[in-house]
Structure 1
Amino acid sequence: MSASARETLQLQVAMQVMVTAKRWKLRVADLFRDHGHTGAPTVVLYFLADHPKGLTLSELSERMELSGASLTRLVQRLERDGMVSRRRLVGDGRSWLIVMEPAGREAVRAFDIHAAAMRQRMFQEVSEADMAAALRVLTVLSDKLVKGPDAFRPQRPPRPER
């Protein structure tokens, strides 16, 4: 494959990843709505589902790649709905542990029936080998966007001179 053919393919893959991610996110948001859920708070529950002892707000923020302020609003909404609770972290009175409550586990279980059906439809004609290859490629790209030379680095405002 020539350099220009490889560059063209790289561009096509990059554009397809962006378009597919946007479409997937929109479809999942529709699915959340269709079944009485809102997207972002439900995603918080998915992150908590694998951590029965809970996660601190900063751990959850890091995993979801959301600012603390945005995540706090989501957690407050889930707390109002009885899906999660906030508990003081033992040994660190400044930190809160976010723990999923039974109502949150039930919401994830109920929604995941529909999400699993969607994933089955989406991947119906995709082989396991192709899924594994796609996962490897996406993982490499994702890691490079976090740790590599092209990692996102938020711009900090310049410090005022003294």
Structure 2
Amino acid sequence: MSSHPLSVSTDSFCLRLQRAARLWRQVADEELKKYGLSEATTTPLWLIGRLGEGLRQCALAEHLGIEGQSLVRLIDHLEQSGLVVRRDDPSDRRAKMLMLTEAGKTMATRVDQVVRDIRDQLLRDVGAEELRAADTALDAIIRAADKIRE
């Protein structure tokens, strides 16, 4: 039994949050499949482009909130697709830096637009005030989860 005073509405919220996240990924996967990618492989590709060339694998895993081993599989797929290359980090030979290839840069730009289009479609009926409230709620959930994980 939930100890939260609004257990019925929090249960409903949690279920809808999970469903929304799952549906968002499904819609993204469907569109990204056209490019041989998935939502899971697109996010690292996009972040490498956004956070800059030479991003360390461990830093990317931290940004994604996943274990390094899970990231390795995603990067392997991107590397086999010719979109990403790994380079030794000159300041730490044990570390690997990630670089987008020219094809990776082109694909990152393309999928950035695809993801923007998906976002615009899915959020078109959400007003600015609703979006701010949802953003605030999600920030609170993320902070609480981060505290639990510490």
> What's the TM-score, normalizing by structure 1?
0.80
Distance 1:36 1:72, change over 3 A: closer
Partners of 2:40 and 2:62 in 1: how far apart?
A: 15
Aligned Cα root-mean-square deviation (Å): 2.1
Deviation at 1:152, TM superposition (A): 4.8
**Alignment correspondent of 2:54:** 54
Asked whether the equivalents of residues 55 and 99 of structure 2 are also in contact (C-alpha less than 8 Å), the reply is yes
Partner of 1:39: 39
Identity %: 22
Larger radius of gyration: 1
Choose between structure 1 and 2: higher helix proportion.
2
1:138 deviates by: 0.6
Unaligned runs of 5+ in 1: 154-162
Deviations along 1:53-95, one digit per CA (max 9) or x if unpaired, are 3321111112212222221122122122221111111221111
Measure how far apart 1:17 and its partner are.
0.7
Unaligned runs of 5+ in 2: none
Equivalent pairs, count: 148
The TM-score normalised by the length of structure 2 is 0.86
After TM superposition, the runs of 4+ consecutive aligned structure 1 residues lying more than 3 A away are none
Amino acid in the other structure paired with 1:86 = R
- Other-structure match for 2:117: 117
Asked whether the equivalents of residues 52 and 100 of structure 1 are also in contact (C-alpha less than 8 Å), the reply is no
Cα displacement (A) at 1:134: 0.6
Deviation at 1:5, TM superposition (A): 6.9
Structure 2 residue identity aligned to 1:95: A
